[in-house]
Amino acid sequence: MRRGAALLAVGALAAGCAAANKHASSSTKASATSSSGMAGMNMGGSSSSGTSSNAAKAFAAVAGIKPVPTQVLGKSTWQGMSVTAQAMTAVPFVIFNGTGERMVKVPQHTSFHLMVMLSDAQTHVPIPYASVWATISKGSKIVYDERQWPMLSRYMGPHYGNDVGLPGAGSYKLSLLISPPVSARHVEYQHVWLNPHRVSFTFNWKPVA
């Protein structure tokens, strides 16, 4: 019962298939400390982040998973879209493909759950219908190269995420390829996010003891 209650506390994460094109030639690069374009788009505040972290820790205590302190890996802006990458405790999530559900358990050597949040910097409204591909490298070696699931969460709202396993402590480079949101748009978003865009962050990682 405690295990089930904790899982409910984390919230159901339902995800569809993201169509990120990791080989797009029109990508551009940005640093973790710089921002460009229009008045960015940012998702979520510290209160929701803190709530999600507490919920993840509650589940981890029941499931035997080592809690990971929430860590912001980098922030950037792209034509009015705020891009935030964050590491948090990995917990099981559910993938719904339209006809059925599949439970994704935390792999044995997972370091953290990577969350990528896209939002409007002025209104902080989450931006759905995009796709995100994450690549992490250490030096010249790529150690992670995966699609990020579009996700729903009671505590974080819509975001993009997946579990990440790193080989150990050290300095890493995270590169996010963001493909444009595929949807009808109101006119305020008429001329933005029309081509894939890449942002890159450098972060330090230390495994939980």
- What is the tens place of the pLDDT at every residue in 164-176? 999 999 999 999 9
Mean pLDDT check: name the lowest of 15-19, 86-90, 110-114, 153-157: 15-19
For residue 31, the model assigns a pLDDT of 41
Confidence of residue 25 (pLDDT cuts 50, 70, 90): very low
Superfamily of domain 2-205, CATH level 4? Periplasmic metal-binding protein Tp34-type (2.60.40.2480)
Token output for 68: 């990971």
Token output for 170: 């050290």
Q: pTM (2 decimals)?
A: 0.71
Pick the more confident residue, 197 or 67: 197
pLDDT digits (tens, 9 = 90+) for 130-160: 999 999 999 999 999 999 999 998 888 899 9
Chain centroid to CA 73: how far?
Answer: 10
Percent of the chain with pLDDT over 70: 69
Q: Is the pLDDT of residue 53 over 70?
A: no
Pick the more confident residue, 41 or 87: 87
In this prediction, residues 65-93 reach a mean pLDDT of 93
Confidence of residue 32 (pLDDT cuts 50, 70, 90): very low
All structural domains of the chain with their residue ranges? 2-205
The answer to whether residues 75 and 18 touch, using CB atoms and an 8 Å cutoff, is no
Beta bridge partners of 178: 132, 197
Using alpha carbons, list the distances in angstroms from residue 76 to 3, 6, 25, 129, 140.
37, 33, 20, 19, 23
